[in-house]
Amino acid sequence: MKKILVIEDNGEVRENLEEILELSGYDVLTAEDGKVGVEIALTDPPDLILCDVMMPHLDGFGVLNILSKKSSTANVPFIFLTAKAEKSDFRRGMNLGADDYITKPFYKDELLEVIETRLRKSEQLRKQFDKTEQGLTAFINEAKGYEELRKLSEERK
């Protein structure tokens, strides 16, 4: 079961998100502010982080800045979920490395679609092969497949 960390200072929004995600089959961790969110993420790295921007103690931009520098959380998909819809805030979040930016209010289906997309992409990027002979063979076979596709693509040009 995929684990999602929700960092949101508004208790009602946090509880609603937790319920939506749990009913959709996710394991959910919650934090009431950025400082607590960073502590949870570093202690128990999630598969994805949903984070508000405006929070006490440490805002969402600070959370992303800290977690993107830690090896255990640098590649965890990070989605801002916020009422701040100004283009400058959106750009700042994306420049810091956010994977997506959803503005409140949002539709449940939109949120779940974004989460699924980010988790799928993350899984593809993280595809790991064990460090045994079989793992190395699987890695080489997969790499050969990509090389063959590249050659076919080149031939079609």
Cβ pair 60, 51 in contact under 8 A: yes
Helix axes 60-67, 87-96, angle to 10 degrees: 20
100-103/48-51 β-pairing: unpaired
> Between the ranges 30-44, 74-88, 101-115, 141-155, where is the mean pLDDT highest?
30-44
Q: Tens digit of pLDDT for each residue in 67-122?
A: 999 999 999 999 999 887 777 777 777 877 889 989 888 899 999 999 999 999 88
All structural domains of the chain: 3-126 (3.40.50.2300), 128-157 (no CATH)
Which two structure tokens, joined as six digits, stand for 55?
């929070």
Query: What is the pTM assigned to this prediction?
Result: 0.78
